């Protein structure tokens, strides 16, 4: 009976997918790579549906990856500096986990602003085309936390409780075996937000007025952040600034900015400030045949 229970236990099989000699293929890296490839393909498809040259999105993807992943790591390390100061060799060991999505978003925003200025294209247009891919990538990437047995919540006895190995447990919970699978909560929440963004994106195909530029990016900010606020409250490994959970603070700021942006767009009936004036923006619209390819 005990072996049957163990067979159905909700637990990570380990961080390594397979190993060939000294080369180890880790689930975390595979999931990030998959999220990037799927996200780029989706953004290029959405660009074609909006008559925007998909090459913009292919080029932007390189910028985003080069900026987002290092910034996500730097952000995480800075808020865990006491730990990494004791073992500086682990600062670059990103394959072991330890990246912060808010750091990735910050790096991505900076890269997108520079890219938009160089290409003379609306940064909000780019953000709208990237937002569904970003939230889908976050839903996929969260499963890397599962395989690394990290980013879990407080102890729990719920039917979907997650087993955490002894070496991964916080000292204050060393005698507990099962915890809230917060990675799963966030992954499912992100899939719901993804569904909302895709529904909004295609609403104009049903004869509805097209959404204003920037709407999807703002809905992403509000939707993702609303989920992160409550899910972060379960976690045992939050990045902290004194008594405050950094992710909750940043999420509340994003909700405020997102709601304010939507009010500006639809109640004030104004366009969002952009890095490139509207009269100078380059669209590179494509033909219908290219759009349907």
Is the pLDDT at 46 greater than 90, yes or no? yes
Domains in the chain: boundaries: 22-291
3-state secondary structure of 143: helix
Q: Report whether pLDDT(268) > 80.
A: yes
Query: Would you say residue 208 has pLDDT above 80?
Result: no
d(CA 51, CA 284): 8
24 phi and psi angles, rounded to 5 deg: -115, 130
3: pLDDT confidence band, cut at 50, 70 and 90? very low
Q: Give the span between the Cα atoms of 237 and 291, in whole angstroms.
A: 45
Residue 21's region, left for phi above 0, alpha for psi from -120 to 50, else beta, is left
| Cα–Cα distance for residue pair 289/293, rounded to 1 Å | 7
pLDDT average, residue stretch 262-283: 89
Tokens for 69? 């992943």
- CA 217, CA 128: separation in Å to the nearest integer? 5
Place of tokens 């670059």: 92
Q: Are 191 and 139 in contact (CB under 8 A)?
A: yes
- Judged by DSSP in three states, 244 sits in strand
Looking at the predicted structure, is the pLDDT value of residue 96 above 80? no
Q: Which residue has the higher pLDDT, 275 or 290?
A: 275
Whether 4 shows a pLDDT value over 60: the answer reads no
pLDDT tens for 124-163 read 999 999 999 999 999 999 999 999 999 999 999 988 899 9
Q: Which residue has the higher pLDDT, 4 or 23?
A: 23
């Amino acid at each position: 009976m005990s072996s049957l229970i163990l067979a159905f236990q909700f637990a990570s099989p380990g961080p390594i997918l397979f190993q060939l000699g000294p080369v180890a293929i880790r689930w975390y890296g595979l999931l990030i790579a998959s999220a990037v490839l799927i996200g780029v393909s989706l953004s290029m498809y959405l660009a074609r549906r909006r008559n925007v040259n998909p090459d913009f999105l292919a080029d932007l993807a390189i910028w985003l990856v080069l900026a987002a992943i290092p910034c996500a790591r730097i952000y995480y390390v800075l808020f865990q500096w006491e730990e990494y100061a004791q073992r500086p060799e682990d600062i670059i060991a990103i394959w072991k986990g330890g990246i912060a999505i808010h750091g990735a978003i910050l790096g991505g925003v900076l890269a997108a602003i520079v890219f938009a200025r160089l290409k003379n294209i609306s940064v909000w247009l780019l953000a709208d085309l990237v937002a569904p891919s970003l939230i889908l990538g976050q839903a996929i990437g969260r499963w890397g936390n599962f395989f690394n047995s990290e980013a879990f919540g407080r102890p729990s006895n719920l039917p979907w409780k997650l087993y955490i190995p002894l070496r991964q447990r916080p000292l204050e919970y060393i005698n507990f075996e099962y915890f809230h699978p917060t990675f799963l909560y966030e992954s499912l929440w992100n899939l719901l937000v993804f569904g909302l963004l895709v529904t909004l994106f295609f609403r104009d195909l049903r004869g509805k007025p097209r959404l204003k530029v920037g709407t999807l990016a703002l809905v992403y900010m509000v939707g993702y952040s609303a989920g992160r606020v409550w899910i972060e409250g379960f976690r045992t490994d939050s990045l902290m600034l004194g008594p405050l959970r950094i992710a909750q603070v940043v999420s509340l700021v994003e909700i405020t900015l997102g709601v304010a942006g939507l009010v500006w767009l639809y109640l004030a009936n104004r366009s969002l400030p952009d890095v490139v004036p509207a009269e100078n923006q380059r669209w590179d619209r494509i033909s219908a045949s290219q759009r349907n390819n």
